[in-house]
Structure 1
Amino acid sequence: MTEIERKFLVKSEAFKDASSNSYQIKQGFLNSHPERTVRIRLKKDKGILTVKGKSSSDGLSRFEWEKDISKEDAEALLVLCEKGIIDKTRYEIKVGNHMFEVDEFYGDNEGLIIAEIELNSETEPFEKPEWLGEEVTGDVKYYNSNLSQYPFKNW
């Protein structure tokens, strides 16, 4: 249940041409405390409840637990979330043996595009596509829980 993930800014929209799938995501946080976050996500026609623990000191890994919930439950829980619902389109792009998930944000986070890749180990090598920009792994300002409270438009 440990998630190992690296995050990057995206420097061009070339990823869209390579995308095999895309979908809309709405998400909010019932709790955005740095020690633990509780997220509600509406993805396509299903809901997901996620609990994440505190990140490691380098930001590469942390505890993550997810449970599918109904669309109706997710919609009801989103109403209870803290201020700052995240709205984004997620693109899935296979590069080599890995899948990048690229989030294009809307609303108060318009203009921000972040790529994430999940790995099996913190030292696992992976191919970096030309549209991948600066690494922001461990920079809390790029965490969705932070973006909901301190949106990109206010930086």
Structure 2
Amino acid sequence: MAKEIERKFLVRDDGWRKLADAGVSIVQFYVAASDDRSVRIRIRDDRDALLTLKFGSAALERDEFEYPVPLDDAREMQGFAVGRVIEKTRHIVIHCGKRYEVDRFAGALDGLVVAELETPEMVADEDLPPWLGREVTGEAAFYNAALALNGIPGD
């Protein structure tokens, strides 16, 4: 089990793009989601799949378990998805030695760009990249499970 400090930000501009890798296409859906737990399937580049269980309602730290699942099983489980199936491209951006995952959403969530920073320790605000916008850590409406169930906040 891995514990992580996870901070989430809206992305303010395209300053991250020149630092980003080519990205990975992700299809992600939930087969169960509640306030303090979720069960997610993620298919990456249509070549492998992961089952992820997350527990806890703390904004910065949750318990997470992740396991590979056969791709054909993952595709079949998509029929049991609750809410929207999330489509996004995940880019990795390194800033000051820290790894940021920048997700550009498509489909029903097109236009949303969110960056996550997962670290074992807190990063000072002054060490964050300038292309980050408002921090939405702890705002449940921006959790992927909530996006799948409710769409983009304010839409």
Give me the TM-score of the superposition, normalised by structure 1.
Answer: 0.92
Tell me, in whole angstroms, the C-alpha distance in 1 between the residues paired with 2:106 and 2:146: 15
Provide closer, same or farther for how the CA distance between residues 116 and 153 of structure 1 changes in structure 2, counting only shifts above 3 A.
closer
* 1:153 CA drift (Å): 7.4
Q: What is residue 67 of structure 2 aligned with on the other side?
A: 67
Query: Using the alignment, how far apart are the partners of 2:36 and 2:151 within structure 1?
Result: 20
Query: What is the distance in 1 between the residues matched to 2:19 and 2:144?
Result: 24
Are 2:25 and 1:24 equivalent residues in the alignment?
Answer: yes
Amino acid at match of 1:91: H
Question: TM-score by structure 2 length?
Answer: 0.92
Q: Deviations over 1:19-57 (max 9, x none)?
A: 02401100110101112100000012110000001221x
In the other structure, the counterpart of 1:6 is 7
- What is the Cα deviation at residue 96 of structure 1? 1.5
Gaps of 5+ in 2: none
Q: Which amino acid aligns with 1:72?
A: D
What is the rounded CA distance, in whole Å, between the counterparts of 1:103 and 1:8 in structure 2? 11
Residue of structure 1 in register with 2:97 after alignment: 97
RMSD: 1.5
- The residue matched to 1:17 in structure 2 has which SS? helix
Contact 2:83 2:150 in 1 (8 A): no
3-state SS of paired residue (1:40): strand
Length, aligned pairs only: 152
Percent of counterpart pairs with the same letter? 33
1:85 aligned residue: 85
2:50 paired with 1:48: yes
Q: Which amino acid aligns with 1:149?
A: L
Distance 1:105 1:19 in 2: 16
